Amino acid sequence: RAIDFGTGVERVRASMTSVDGLHSQQTFGFPGLVDVDGMTLTFWRDDAAMRAFAYRPGEHKTQLDRFRERNTADRTSFTRLRALQQYGTWYGTNPLAW
């Protein structure tokens, strides 16, 4: 199940390269603490872009439906957010500079 779920996560991440409104995406793992199931974080321009990506037809919706139908994971950690204020940069860019 973990490999199946991870494969789905990688498919979703690969599909995000040209998504309108996506500022950046990262996956974090913590060797020795969280080795198998990392956490993902995505920064978005606005709520509409987040919702369109998450729930419109596409790879994410396909994998979300698959997860619900097949119970491919015991828990998940995906954080979608948009910045309201910023101090400094995230990976060298300003997440509010659209």
Q: 10-42: per-residue pLDDT in tens?
A: 899 899 888 999 988 888 777 776 556 667 888
Kindly provide the b/e burial profile for residues 4-27, where b requires at least 16 CB atoms within 10 angstroms of the residue's own CB: ebeebbeebbeeeeeeebbbebee
- For residue 26, the cross-strand partners are 41
Q: E strands along 1-98, which residues? A: 22-30, 34-44, 78-81
pLDDT for position 65: 92
What is the average per-residue pLDDT within 43-67? Answer: 90
pLDDT for position 69: 92
- Unique residue bearing structure tokens 């940069």: 89
pLDDT for position 59: 92
- Unique residue bearing structure tokens 């789905």: 8
* The pairing of beta strand 78-81 with beta strand 22-30: unpaired
Q: What is the value of pTM for the model shown?
A: 0.73
